[in-house]
Amino acid sequence: MRAYRAKMVESIRLPDREEREAALDAAGHNVFNLDSDAVYVDLLTDSGTGTMSDAQWAAMMQGDEAYAGSGSFTDLEAAASDVLGFDRIVPAHQGRGAENVLYGSLVEPGDVVPNNTHFDTTRAHVVEQGGEPVDCPVEGALDPGASGDFLGNFDVERARAVVDEVGADRVPAVVVTLTNNSAAGQPVSVANVRAVREFCDEIGATFVLDACRFAENAHFVREREPEFADSTVAAVAREQLSYADACIVSAKKDGLANVGGFVGIRDAPAFDDLFERAKQRAILYEGFTTYGGMAGRDLAAVAVGLREAVTDAYITDRVEQVRWLGERLDEAGVPVVRPVGGHAVYVDAGAMCPHLRSEEFPGQAVVCDLYREGGVRGVELGEFAFPGADRPDLVRLAIPRRTYARDHLEHVVETAAAVADHADDLPGYEVVSEPPMAELRHFSADLRPLAPSPGSEE
């Protein structure tokens, strides 16, 4: 049940079809290049695109803008301690800033970093440090047809084989991403987190939780892991984080803010050195250790947002809304990855466009057509975003938090159903120009359709 109502509104409009065709052409058929006022329902990402609460806006007015020793930082520290159980934090401007601070302090050239599945910026940061990111998802995690309660889990045996091969001294850290963003937002069980803890003790590695979506994961744990059936989401959130030595948080996700992030580091003598190194690196790249690239008002908003994220009223509504969209799309004949994850519905574009080879980017074909048909912006996560990774060609429809109502999502369902109806006729795409770093290609490459689109002017 919706446990909030609107108090401020933002106008949006659906440009007509001709405008949409022109906008898509001008954007090089890459929806990252579209102006947001040309988008009707924007499901590009749920990162920093949510709606803040009146309590967050009120806290912003009292943000302490002091360069050092900001009271808003003290508030954020207290929230991170209460909500996540991390008493030491290093703030950063967003999650990737936190990744730069942490992985830059942990990873050396030649190191190997196992992760259930590296999120794109995480992969890029490990590579940037000269490390080698290795994905260790469980069987079926990347298979759109698989089913299971915890398809986001980390496969410890797979990681053990990697460690046996390269030697434990080359593995400084093991990362678990919860929920597993790049594996369709599937959750990770607490049992799995405990197993990874034991594995890290065995090989002497630092256990990092990429906790950007800690609240969504906690909701699924409570729903699916019998041990936690009677727990609060807040209690599960703390429990799952309690096993990690360090964590990465993007406040743009379950911090319910528009910007911000931090590294959490365990308050124990074994991590004093890591904490010091992280703080030094943060001063260089992010800002002094009591603001880290955020304004005082941002720190204040995140401090309130973290607490709101683990309230039952918020998180239940959030996950239910995403699930509702998944179910309606499924009923409308749009192939979606089941079970539906925490922050997004993943459309199986490969299944929708069997006439297109992966190299012709069926995901991008669907993304472009969703925009052309209904001004809906999603994002390709397949061969275009992950060149050569041999992953299924998916399109992610990520739902901003507390932002869209059911009629917006009904428009998305109608649009996607129209795309599915003529999916057999969608053209493939080819890359015209791309940036040097392959890991970041989907953010800025230009593409060209290999044939005219159904219903287009050409």
* Contacting positions for ligand PLP (CB under 6 A): 47, 94-96, 119, 121-122, 177, 181, 210, 212, 250, 252-253, 261
Strands 88-92 and 261-265: antiparallel
The residue among 188 and 334 lying less far from ligand PLP, judged by its C-beta, is 188
Residue at token pair 């290999």 = 450
Q: Are residues 115 and 152 in contact, defined by beta-carbon separation less than 8 angstroms?
A: no
Cβ atoms < 10 Å from Cβ of 69: 11
Coil vs helix vs strand at 351: helix
Residues 6 or more apart whose CB falls under 8 angstroms from that of 292 comprise 90, 91, 92, 93, 97, 262, 282, 286
Give the residue among 42, 50, 67, 71 at the shortest CA–CA distance from 59: 71
Smallest gap, in angstroms, from Cβ of residue 425 to ligand PLP? 34
Four-point Cα dihedral 377, 25, 431, 184, nearest 10: 10
Q: Shortest gap between Cβ of 308 and ligand PLP (angstroms)?
A: 18
Query: Cβ(255)–Cβ(401) under 8 Å?
Result: no
User: Minimum CB separation from ligand PLP for residue 252, in Å?
Assistant: 4
Nearest to 395 by CA among 357, 361, 363: 363
Please identify, using beta-carbon distances, which residue of 247 and 413 lies nearer to ligand PLP. Answer: 247
3-state helix, strand, coil in the chain (%, to 5): 45, 15, 40
- CB 429 to ligand PLP: min, Å: 25
Q: Which two tokens stand for residue 140?
A: 């079926």
* C-alpha distance across the termini of the chain, in Å: 46
Closest to ligand PLP by CB, 261 or 296: 261
Number of neighbours of residue 355 by Cβ within 10 angstroms:
14
In the bound state with ligand PLP, the residue whose beta carbon lies nearer, of 85 and 261, is 261
Shortest distance (Å) from residue 373 CB to ligand PLP: 28
Closer residue to ligand PLP, CB minimum distance, 315 or 334: 315
Residue 152 or 428 having the CB closest to ligand PLP: 152
* Backbone phi, psi, residue 383, to 5°: -60, -30
The answer to whether 146 touches 140, Cβ cutoff 8 Å, is: yes
**Residue 105 vs 250, nearer CB to ligand PLP:** 250
Closer of 253 and 318 to ligand PLP (Cβ): 253
User: How far apart are CB 213 and ligand PLP at their closest, in Å?
Assistant: 6
Q: Which is nearer to ligand PLP, 123 or 238 (CB)?
A: 123
* Shortest distance, position 48 Cβ to ligand PLP, whole Å: 7
Rounded least distance, CB 253 to ligand PLP, Å: 6
Cis before residue 436, ω within 30 degrees of 0? no
Q: Which residue lies nearer to ligand PLP by CB, 212 or 426?
A: 212
Tell me if 86 sits within 8 A of 264, measured CB to CB. Answer: yes
Rounded CA separation 165/104 (Å): 24
Tokens of 279: 């703080």
Which of 63, 48, 57 shows the shortest CA–CA distance to 8? 57
The DSSP symbol for 56 reads H
CA distance 113 to 324: 36
Shortest approach of ligand PLP to residue 364 CB, angstroms? 21
CA–CA gap between residue 421 and residue 333 (Å, rounded): 9
* Closer residue to ligand PLP (CB): 122 or 290: 122
CB 317 within 8 A of CB 3: yes
Question: Least distance in Å: CB of 189 to ligand PLP?
Answer: 17
CB of 22 to ligand PLP, least distance (A): 30
Beta carbon of residue 79, minimum distance to ligand PLP (angstroms, whole number): 17
Phi and psi (nearest 5°) for 343? -125, -5
Measured from each CB, the residue nearest to ligand PLP is: 95
Query: Are 154 and 136 in contact, with CB atoms under 8 Å apart?
Result: yes
Residue among 217 and 290 whose Cβ is closer to ligand PLP: 217
